[in-house]
Amino acid sequence: MNIDDLLQRTFGTSDLGAITPAALEAGSERLQVDLGLATDRDQRFALWSLLYVLGRAPDLDVAFPDPSDRDAARNFMDLIAASGGE
């Protein structure tokens, strides 16, 4: 899954700074629906990761039934925090 394509498809732009609050809300809802429908683990992780960066991700136990996926998500969260992203 290409992040630029995902942003373009969801928000109409690949520039996060250009997304209006209304577009952010609508796009986040679409991403949450996509996450709920996704069956591919990699796709689910990519969708959840973008939602996390946007501050809209569901809780780990809701998003990831598999404990190893939750661990991977926690690692992602730690990497974001260590990079100064939070």
Question: Span 30-49, mean pLDDT?
Answer: 95
Domain that holds residue 18: 3-82
Tell whether the model's pLDDT for residue 63 goes beyond 80. Answer: yes
What total number of domains does the chain contain?
Answer: 1
Alpha-carbon gap, residue 17 to 60, rounded angstroms: 27
Helix (H) or strand (E) run with residue 76 in it: helix 67-82
Tell whether the model's pLDDT for residue 17 goes beyond 70. Answer: yes
Residue 12, amino acid: G
Tell whether the model's pLDDT for residue 23 goes beyond 60. Answer: yes
Please count the CA atoms within 13 angstroms of the CA of 54 that sit on its side-chain side. Answer: 28
Residue 76, amino acid: F
pLDDT at 86: 56
Percentage, residues of the chain above pLDDT 70? 98
